[in-house]
Amino acid sequence: MQQEGQTVPTPEIEALFRVGAHFAYGKSRRHPSASPFIFGSKARVEIFDLEKTHDSLEKAKAFIATLASGGKQILFVSGKNEAKEAIRTGAGAIHMPYVAGRFIGGTLTNFPQIKKRIEKLERLSGERDRGELVKYTKKERLLIDREIKTLEDTFGGIVSMKTLPAAIFVVDSKREHIVIAEAKQLKIPVIALSNSDCDLSEVDYVIPGNDSSRASVEHFIQEIVGAYKTAQKATA
């Protein structure tokens, strides 16, 4: 029986709890900016206040909705093993560019040069698919195939990014400090799922939560993608 005065968890907060979104790191790893979002600790592991996590998520989703309504592009970024597949799947579901691996410095701040590499990838891939590489020797075709593979591995996820994105979504803002710095330089808003070791003040729309659990990461990415889809349908 529910005790008088006891708060009943909402379904949204229960969902966060189920995926382990509440698990932060130990106190020794906590960045001072994360302190307001910590509820307590258990077995030397600090616990996020999921009500505050939920409120932060809702603010981020509201911003995502404004981007979707305007048909704006979001770049999804994370090199964490726990996030790579979810980043690819989530970004693909709404046809957004992504980096599921190492973010190449200069991708944003030196975008004209990066764009040339993307154009080369498209040109070589097109020639290969149309069978136009037969004019080269076997050795030359082998070298071209290797170059295509290298370009695909590095830039394949951002082929659709013809201009700088309107915003960036990141998993683990501490790990992805390069993209955070480039976004700040270019005044591109950043949404980030950030654990307690991150400087939360560096992010425009921070979502304090577990960024090291596959289930937690997948849940937050699904929430972001779902918010975009919902707003997109509403304006269709």
Average pLDDT along the chain, 236 residues, taken 10 residues at a time: 55 95 95 96 92 97 97 96 96 97 95 95 92 89 93 94 97 97 98 98 97 96 97 87
pTM listed for this prediction: 0.92
Q: Which amino acid is at 156?
A: G
| Residue whose entry in the numeric block shows the structure tokens 């425009």 | 204
What is the structure's pLDDT at 171? 98
Q: Which domains does the chain have, with CATH numbers?
A: 11-107+165-235 (3.40.50.10490), 111-158 (1.10.287)
Q: What string of DSSP letters covers 90-157? A: HHHHTT--EE-SPPPTTTTTTHHHHHHHHHHHHHHHHHHHTTGGGGS-HHHHHHHHHHHHHHHHHHGG
Rounded CA-CA distance 174/108 in Å is: 18
Residues linked to residue 3 through DSSP beta bridges, in sequence order? none
What is the structure's pLDDT at 133? 86
Residue pair 49/37 in contact (Cβ under 8 Å)? The answer is yes
What is the structure's pLDDT at 148? 93
Helix (H, G, I), strand (E, B) or coil at 183: helix
What is the structure's pLDDT at 235? 84
Helix 11-18, helix 50-69: angle, nearest 10: 100
